[in-house]
Amino acid sequence: MGPAPAVRRNAAVAVLLASLGASSCASVGGAAVSGLAESLSAAILDAADPGIVQDGVPAYLLLMDAAVRSAPDNERGLAAAAQLYALYGIAFTTDPVRSAILTGKAREYGQRALCAADEAACGVDGLEYDGFVRAVDGLDEDSSAALYSYCIGSLAYIRAHSENWEALAKLPKIEHALAVLLRMPETANTGSVHTYLGVLNTLRPESLGGRPEEGRRHFERAIDLTGGRDLSAKVEFARNYARLVYDRELHDRLLNEVLAAPAQADGLTLLNTLAQADARQLLASADEYF
């Protein structure tokens, strides 16, 4: 059974789903809300039917809004809201206008989470690159969860506004922030951070300023860190690196490994179900591409 057409998007879907389990749903604003948030997050990630998730997540978004309203400076509540809005705005929304609105809210919540974590980071998004680098480099490891949600919200926003050069110009900042996350020992789900960096380094061929071999190293590290259980890392390795460098053998090997692997895994079932759907599509179009 494949996922509903609305949820078959691309690289952003799988990685954003992985981010949901990182640290987004800890204390949201009271023990009752926290427990419910953790249970809902687990249910989303363990779901084998993306259609059920697509239908159910909007109610969860309202819950996050209510939690933020009751605790507007709660870093973890803001981080949870940022990541869930990013997920829904990219993975489960086909209307570009709606996607732009939802990811705009994801970016806002991510910015607020970072500001709540460290007052010195308030307004960091509006800084020029050098100032941004100084501010992010100055964050301590206790800010890792907030910085992660800031990156998630920002990347979702950029993807939904891919026709906007001003939005695309923020990518170097987010790439630096992701690199900083890898230096923070408290960063959760570093496999997803490596996958993001793999994608960002393979957006362009080397002749146009891309860094495909660095991207390959990030993809390989993501696979190692998850023991190969996170099938999305292999799909993105094939989609972004193997296709960029026209390595058909690597491309087909990775995708066939994804299809041969079990989709069910704690915290990864939905992610892997979507990854296998993408793998089938990529293999079906391989003759035309290569």
Say whether both 255 and 113 belong to one domain.
no
The DSSP secondary-structure symbol of 26 reads S
The tens-digit pLDDT sequence of the chain (290 residues) is 333 333 334 445 555 555 555 544 444 444 444 445 555 666 666 666 777 777 777 888 888 888 888 888 888 888 888 888 888 888 788 899 999 999 999 999 999 999 999 999 999 989 999 999 999 999 998 999 899 999 999 999 998 998 888 888 899 999 999 999 999 987 778 898 999 999 999 999 999 899 999 999 999 999 999 899 999 999 999 999 999 999 999 999 999 999 999 988 887 888 898 899 999 999 999 999 99
Among 145, 163, 186, residue at a domain's last position: 186
Measured distance CA(49)–CA(233) in Å, rounded: 20
**Which tokens in the block code for residue 90?**
């990219």
Q: 17 near 91, Cβ under 8 Å?
A: yes
Range of the domain at 225: 189-279
Residue 284 inside a domain? The answer is: no
Single pTM value for the model: 0.83
Among 186, 217, 243, residue at a domain's last position: 186
CATH of residue 155's domain is 1.25.40.920
Residue 144 inside a domain? The answer is: yes
Radius of gyration of the chain (CA): 18
Say whether both 230 and 141 belong to one domain.
no
Say whether both 147 and 28 belong to one domain.
yes
Residue by residue, DSSP assigns 64-121 as HHHHHHHSTT-HHHHHHHHHHHHHHHHHS---HHHHHHHHHHHHHHHHHHHHHH-GGG
Residue 180 inside a domain? The answer is: yes
Say whether both 173 and 200 belong to one domain.
no
Say whether both 156 and 228 belong to one domain.
no
Residue 9 is predicted with a pLDDT of: 46
Say whether both 172 and 202 belong to one domain.
no
Say whether both 121 and 259 belong to one domain.
no
Residue 102 inside a domain? The answer is: yes
Q: 191 near 230, Cβ under 8 Å?
A: yes
Residue 142 inside a domain? The answer is: yes
Say whether both 89 and 147 belong to one domain.
yes
Residue 286 inside a domain? The answer is: no
Measured distance CA(154)–CA(170) in Å, rounded: 9
Question: Burial of 51 by CB count in 10 Å (0-12 exposed, 13-18 middle, 19+ buried)?
Answer: middle
Q: How far is CA 214 from the centre of its chain?
A: 19
Q: 85 near 61, Cβ under 8 Å?
A: yes
Residue 279 is predicted with a pLDDT of: 96
Say whether both 209 and 171 belong to one domain.
no
Residue 118 inside a domain? The answer is: yes
Among 186, 205, 239, residue at a domain's last position: 186
Say whether both 83 and 210 belong to one domain.
no
Say whether both 136 and 272 belong to one domain.
no
Say whether both 68 and 120 belong to one domain.
yes
Residue 176 inside a domain? The answer is: yes
Question: Burial of 111 by CB count in 10 Å (0-12 exposed, 13-18 middle, 19+ buried)?
Answer: buried
Measured distance CA(52)–CA(4) in Å, rounded: 9
- How many domains does the chain divide into? 2
